[in-house]
Structures are given as C-alpha cells and as structure tokens.
Amino acid sequence: MEKMARVTTALGGNTITGRTMFCHLDAPANAISVCRDAAQVVVAGRNIFKIYSIDEDQFVEKLNLRVGRKPSLNFSCADVVWHQMDENLLATAATNGVVVTWNLGKPSRNKQDQLFTEHKRTVNKVCFHPTEVYMLLSGSQDGYMKCFDLRKKDSVSTFSGQSESVRDVQFSIRDYFTFAATFENGNVQLWDIRRPDRYERMFTAHNGPVFCCDWHLEDRGWLATGGRDKMVKVWDMNTNRAKEIYCVQTIASVARVKWRPECKHHIATCSMMVDHNIYVWDVRRPFIPSAMFEEHKDVTTGIVWRHLHDPYFLLSGSKDSTLYQHIFKDASQPIDRANPEGLCYSLFGDLAFAAKESLISSDSNRKPYIGDRRHPIFFKRKLDPTEQFEYISSSSALSVFETDLESGSMDWFVRTAKQYALAGRPLAELCDHNAKVAKELDRDQVAQTWTMLRIIYSSPGTVPSANLNHSLGKGSTSLPLMNSFNLKDIPPGIGNESRLERSKGESRSENILMDSSSTLINNDENEETEGSDVPADYLLGDVEGDEDELYMMDHENPHAEEQEYILPQEAFPLRHEIVDNPSALDHLQEKADSPHVSGNEAETVSLTPVESFSLISISHSLYENRLPTDFFNPIVRDMLLFYAEQGDVQMAVSVLIVLGDRIRKEIDEQTQEHWYTSYIDLLQRFQLWNISNEVIKLSTCRAINCLNQASTTLHINCSNCKRPMSNKGWICDRCRQCASMCAVCHHVVKGLFVWCQGCSHGGHLQHIMKWLETSSHCPAGCGHLCEYT
C-alpha cells in the first residue's frame, strides 16, 4: 500500500487531500451521502446511521444518530441524503415507509427533526432540491412521490405514477421545476413540481425495473438510468422524444449510477448483485470500463463522489460493512490489460488487421507474406483539453491482406454445390459422379479423394478383375493424402497464411502434393508402401478408366429412384412427406449398400490377378484379410478433418452425407454439427436455398435436422373480415364464412391453396393451372393480370 497515491486538489481555496482508505462499519450500509464541504460522510443502513469525518488518513466516527434504547424501524434506512445547501440538514427514507429529517444543529442527542408517515410502503429514495432549502422529494414502493416543505407538517403535493413502485427520484440540476422518477415497470417519468396531476413525459427506458437515475452535472438534458437488465443508458431529454445516446452493457443489475464531476462522459456504477466492483465508464467506450475499484467483498450499495467539482475521490459503502474512499490514481484500469485489435473486411475482400505494434513485432517467426502490405501506422490521440487524463499514446501496426481476384472467386463452390450428388444412388456411383464434377472444375485432389472413397467403401467384389490391380494401387494413393496432412508443416509460409486465402492455399498444396508424391514414399507405414511402386501417373491416369465399368453395374438401379432425386425441390409433391430423417437415411444406405451384398469373398480371391508376383502376394494378403472398410475409417476421418481445417467444409459435409453411417460414428457430433452449420450458412449466403435444404434434410444431426422444421407456420388473414384466422385454414371463426374459395369452381379449398400475390384471388392448384392455360386474367373477374410462378 505504500505506493498508494496521495492526491491533493485545490478547489477554490478548499483543499482535498487523501489516499485510498477504509473503515469498518458495524453493519451493512444501504446508502451514503456527503456533506457539501466534502469533509463528512453519512452512512445509513438497517442497523447503522452514523456520520464520519473524512480525515487525511482515516475516517473518524463523529456522530451516531441511532439513539434510544430500542431503536425503532424509523432508523432502518433505505436511503439517506445530505442537503447540499444546509450542512445541518439530512433526510432518510425508512423501510417502513417513513421519511425522517434530521437537524444536526439540535442541541439534544436525538437529532430527529420531522417525521412524515404518509407513504404506505417502503420509501426507496429521498432527494433534496439542489437550490431550494426546504424542499424534499420522496419516492416509495406504493407508487407515489411526495414533495414536502420542511416548514410544514404535511406533504405539499403528491404525484401518482399510476404504476407499481418508484425506485428513484432526482431533481434536475438545472431545471428548477423538473424531476425524474424511475419505476419498477421500466418506465421513466418527468414531472413538473408545480403540476401534480400528471407527468410531463414518460418513456420506457429499460426492460424490467429501473433502479436508478442521475442527471448530468453540466449537460442539462442528459439523464443516465440503470436497470435490472444490466444496462446503463444515457438519454438526451432536450428533444421532444427522449433519445438514447449512449448505452453501456454491464455484467449485473445496475444499482446506482453517478456522473463523474468535471468529466463529461464518465459515469460510475455499482451493481445490485453478484458483482462487487465499482466501475467508471467512459460512455463513448461502452465495452470496457475505464477504471475499476475492486476493494469491496460484498455488493456495493452506495457510491458518491466526494466533492461536486473533484473527479478523483469516490466514496462507497457496501454490504460487507466497510466504508471506502477510492482514489482515482489507485484504480485498476482494465484497458491496460487488454490488447486492442481490429479486424475488418473491405468491399473487395481485402482484410485489414490492426494491432499493437509491440504485439506484432514480438511474433518474430512470422514471415511477411506476399499479399501482406504492412503499414506501420502511429496513431496519436489528440488530447481533449477539457479532460485531464493522460491517454497513453500508442502505436499500432496495420496489416492489409489483399486477396487476388482469381482465388477470391467462389464459382467452384457454387458449381460444386449444384452438381454434387449426395444421395439417392449407390455409393460408388455417387463417388464417381462427384469425382467427375470435381475433375471438371480442375480440382484434382478432390476428384482423387472421391475416387478413393469409392474404392475404399464399395466392395471390391463388384470391381471387374482388370481393375483390381489398379484399385489396389489406388489404395496406396491414400499415402500421399496422408502426407498431405503434414503439408502444413512442409512449406513454412503456407501454413501460416492458409487461413487468409483459403482457396489459394488449397491449390498450392495440391501442386505440392503432385510434385512431392515421389519423395513422399519414405513413409514407414505398412504393407501398402509396396503399392506405391507403381508409378504415380499410372495410378492417376486410370481413374477415369474404371468409370465405365462402374456405371455398367449401376444400370440395375431403377430409374424412378434417380428421378425422385433429381426433382428440384420446388416441385415437391404437393404434400411433401415429413420423414423422420434417420430412418430415411437408413433407407438410402440400404440401397447404397446393395452392391456390397453381392460381392463375396470367394469371388474376390478367385479374381485376384496374376500380373506381378510381388503384387500378387500383397494383394492376396490384403484381400485374404479383407481389410474391413473400417480399417480406413481413421484415415478418412483425418482426411475430412483436413478438408474442414482447410476451409473446404463443402467437401467434408458432402463426404459425410455420402458415406453416412460408415463414417459418422468416427466423428463426434459436435464437429459434425459445426460442419453442417458452416456449410449451410455458406450455401445460404450464395442463395442456394434448395441445396441447403437438401443438406439439412440429409443430415443426421438432430440439431441440423430440425432447422427446416422451425417456423413452418403460415399465418393467414380471413379474406372477408381481414383478421387473422386461428385454427382452421378455410373457415373464419369471427365472420363464420368460408374464407378460401376457389375462384374457378367456387368450392372451398381445403388442401393446397394457390393465390396471386397481386389480387389475392386463387383456388385449387389444378384449377388455376388449367385456367391459366387459356387466360391470363384473374379467374375471379377482377381484371388483374395474374402471375403465378
């Protein structure tokens, strides 16, 4: 504590000095208030009501106002306020609904002056008029505000908020007649003290109770409010409608707000529950408090700036039975611990990234990359002469990453999405189809992957003998693929930048894959290594070769099935079946699996080719053990993860759907869900609604599945009375009329109703279609040229 600052401020002859200090109270405090001269503070709570003088090094108890043998409930204070004009005058609000004034000038021990028992419920707040000595305002749980003239025995006027309880009342500092009141239902009302019949203005400020408000000390129109919804809002009241100009989101219900003197945009807050700190916010910078006091161990119940013109001293009382004086110098500043960073995309896909210079330069092994134009820029904030804080001038580095237009184009994505086949055909055929699609788009690696998938997962029994050898060789092509996982480490630059320019990175790594395929053989893996003896181009060249054969066997598949799949989604059967998806998928798989059933092992063995001796033995052993397809699952899983990592979530999802159950269990649900959502999100950005719907439908994640079952309701209004129809679609409960008549046959439409969006006439789908073949006018005869799409 020795480095605690000692601050001295001169305020027009009145000097305030002090340090961070505290004293123990005997009981939890509910509220505190300071004397005008900033030398004394009063603390009030259920079991405490004392005045302390603020000395340089300590608080000294000066007076205990709780006198009497058995203190009554009148001493149980919810709020306390010290008059800013008269230093002998205090007022308290008691939990039993009594408003008490105290006169310190009284000679007797009991300083109680007047007692107003007009409120029926707890009084939450009392407030003296800033310039008028005898005027006191109170707000209570019973929904009333009362204005007292201390020279009279009763209240002068009563204001009814017409609502539940009043949580806070505050006289405007500048407008003599105005005060603001906040309510439990979220409203804020402005009143003119002369007009008790009705409020001048009311607006809803918060969702839930508004616990506090505070007028700005200088700006006459600004009112800050804090609510249970964890917000602090600043309202500009100068205009006709209260306008929210700033909003600060805190982490707990806001119990008190207090503008900081001499600092136009600073405000101190403390919370009702959970959070014990006091924050000082710059309302223009609402995400991070500009200062924080962390001394209290229970919720802070009262905060007050020590002097009206001094921004460095804050006093606070808390439920932990302590009274603190906080010095601004000792406040912790969260901003020091934060790393300011900014990231933004430009219109053309360029990415700018700014961060503290020190952070970036420390990252020494980061190589500059070609597109990275780095501009070291030094920002220096101009000091606002009205605000006397030292801003730490900081320097930051700005990096701009340009994407070249080529790689930025996402054509391939759209085309792939459109052309991929994901279900409805046997697995082998799907793989081949997708491989072809990828090939056409010059995405060799992807094409290759699809082919391999086919080989891994569709039984070799169906592969004609001539191909067996190749397929075996192809089994080994998973080698380069496996190596491709390591790719990230091989060229040091790419790994780092790949996230910034995904598509580019991908094509680059593909090249490398090709080039390095021969050097990659030094893989100490398994028996498959031998397979790579086969020259690489040979392997790759044959990919297309198998296709024909594979297609041949697919001819058995009924055509109808294919058609069903090809049908675009708009042409759904009138009532499209709502399938429980997992079962639907099983169904598909059953079909896809069918070739598998046909292949049996005996056949396989007999088909083993006798081309090269070494190969035979291998192939033999391979097929004798019949490496179950499960054997490859880890590899395939890694491959999917690799694609997803690279940013090609399309591939990951497509493979996931095509392989279905074969691979699903290998990948944890959450990852799958994550892929699905990203892919669907991408598809929707490209407005590929049908495809995204199809993906949703085919997905097996429950969370994804239910996406297209959400908000399936269509609300309609009755065509007669124009009011919403509730339960049945065709008859209106209100006007008892059949609402949806077919304009052609004049019968009620109970099934599918189609109508023109121009004139809202319509009818049975078939009837309208028939009608439009002959006429383009509305069948109802309204003369509208109807359009149906």
Partner 1 sequence: DREIKIPRQLGRGPSSFIPVEEILQEGTERAQRQLFIEAFVSTGRVDNVTMVMGLHPEYLASFWKTQYLLLRLDGPLPYHKRHYIAIMAAARHQCSYLVGFHVAEFLKVGGNPEWLQGLHRAPQKLRNLNEINKILAHRPWLITKEHIEALLKTGENSWSLAELIQALVLLTHYHSLASFVFGCGINLEPGQEGGPAFQPPSPRSCDSSPASEDGMSSPSGKDAMQEVEVLMERMKLLQECQLEEEGVTQEEMETRFELEKTESLLVAPTVDIAEPALPPNVLCFVEEPEFGYKDFTRKGEQAPPTFRAQDYTWEDHGYSLINRLYPDMGQLLDEKFQVVYNLTYNTIAMHSGVDTTMLRRAIWNYIHCVFGIRYDDYDYGEVNQLLERSLKVYIKTVACYPEKATKRMYTHFWRHFKHSEKVHVNLLLLEARMQAALLYALRAITRYMT
Chain contacts with partner 1 (rule: CB under 8 A): 46, 70, 72-74, 76, 78, 94-97, 117, 119-122, 141, 184, 208-209, 211, 228, 252-253, 272-274, 276, 297-299, 319-320, 727-728, 750
DSSP assignment of 351-365 equals EEEEEEHHHHHH-TT
Tokens of 655: 């493979």
Output the smallest distance, CB 225 to partner 1, in A: 16
Tokens of 114: 């007047």
Q: Which of 118, 62, 70, 110 is nearest to 93 (CA)?
A: 118
Place of tokens 């603020």: 54
Measure the CA–CA gap between 153 and 460, rounded to whole angstroms. Answer: 103
Read off the DSSP letter of residue 780: T
Which is nearer to partner 1, 129 or 228 (by Cβ)? 228
Output the smallest distance, CB 39 to partner 1, in A: 31
Element (H, E) at 446: helix 444-457
Output the smallest distance, CB 674 to partner 1, in A: 18
DSSP assignment of 229-267 equals TSEEEEEE-SSSS-EEEEEEE-SS-EEEEEEPTT-TTEE
Which is nearer to partner 1, 155 or 403 (by Cβ)? 155
Which is nearer to partner 1, 18 or 45 (by Cβ)? 45
Output the smallest distance, CB 533 to partner 1, in A: 54
Which is nearer to partner 1, 154 or 533 (by Cβ)? 154
Output the smallest distance, CB 194 to partner 1, in A: 25
Which is nearer to partner 1, 185 or 690 (by Cβ)? 185
Which is nearer to partner 1, 117 or 394 (by Cβ)? 117
Q: Which of 95, 94, 93, 97 is nearest to 120 (CA)?
A: 97
Strands 231-236 and 222-227: antiparallel
Which is nearer to partner 1, 93 or 644 (by Cβ)? 93
Output the smallest distance, CB 117 to partner 1, in A: 5
Which is nearer to partner 1, 157 or 529 (by Cβ)? 157
Measure the CA–CA gap between 557 and 424, rounded to whole angstroms. Answer: 10
Determine the number of helices (DSSP H) and then strands (DSSP E) in the chain: 22, 36
Output the smallest distance, CB 470 to partner 1, in A: 49
Read off the DSSP letter of residue 506: H
Which is nearer to partner 1, 297 or 702 (by Cβ)? 297
Tokens of 307: 């002097």
Place of tokens 């409805």: 424
Which is nearer to partner 1, 27 or 641 (by Cβ)? 27
DSSP assignment of 660-711 equals THHHHTTS-HHHHHHHHHHHHHHHHHTT-HHHHHHHHHH---HHHHGGGGSS
Q: Which of 131, 126, 56 is nearest to 92 (CA)?
A: 126
Read off the DSSP letter of residue 517: T
Output the smallest distance, CB 266 to partner 1, in A: 25
Which is nearer to partner 1, 205 or 682 (by Cβ)? 205
Output the smallest distance, CB 8 to partner 1, in A: 35
Alpha helices in 555-688 (DSSP H): 559-566, 581-598, 601-607, 613-625, 633-646, 649-659, 661-664, 669-685
Residues 740 and 714: beta-carbon distance below 8 Å = no
Output the smallest distance, CB 73 to partner 1, in A: 5
Which is nearer to partner 1, 616 or 748 (by Cβ)? 748
Which is nearer to partner 1, 207 or 775 (by Cβ)? 207
In which order are the strands placed within the sheet that holds 266-271? 254-259, 266-271, 278-282, 291-293
Pseudo-torsion of CA 543, 549, 555, 560, nearest 10°? 0
Which is nearer to partner 1, 122 or 172 (by Cβ)? 122
Strands 187-192 and 201-204: antiparallel
Q: Which of 713, 714, 709, 712 is nearest to 696 (CA)?
A: 709
Output the smallest distance, CB 244 to partner 1, in A: 22
Q: Which of 487, 472, 442 is nearest to 538 (CA)?
A: 472
Alpha carbon separation from 227 to 45, 132, 254 (Å, rounded): 22, 29, 5
Measure the CA–CA gap between 329 and 314, rounded to whole angstroms. Answer: 11
Which is nearer to partner 1, 322 or 608 (by Cβ)? 322
Which is nearer to partner 1, 274 or 574 (by Cβ)? 274
Output the smallest distance, CB 421 to partner 1, in A: 36
Please give, one letter per residue, the 3-state secondary structure of 90-145: EEEEECCCCEEEEECCCCCCCCEEEEECCCCCCEEEEEECCCCCCEEEEEECCCEE
Output the smallest distance, CB 273 to partner 1, in A: 4
Output the smallest distance, CB 107 to partner 1, in A: 25
Which is nearer to partner 1, 526 or 727 (by Cβ)? 727
Q: Which of 68, 16, 75 is nearest to 42 (CA)?
A: 75
Output the smallest distance, CB 114 to partner 1, in A: 13
Output the smallest distance, CB 598 to partner 1, in A: 39
Output the smallest distance, CB 28 to partner 1, in A: 8
Q: Which of 112, 119, 79, 113 is nearest to 96 (CA)?
A: 119
**Phi, psi (rounded to 5 degrees) for 716:** -130, 155
Residues 558 and 425: beta-carbon distance below 8 Å = no
Which is nearer to partner 1, 216 or 230 (by Cβ)? 230
Residues 67 and 110: beta-carbon distance below 8 Å = yes
Output the smallest distance, CB 518 to partner 1, in A: 54
Measure the CA–CA gap between 56 and 39, rounded to whole angstroms. Answer: 10
C-alpha torsion sign, points 499, 505, 506, 509 = negative
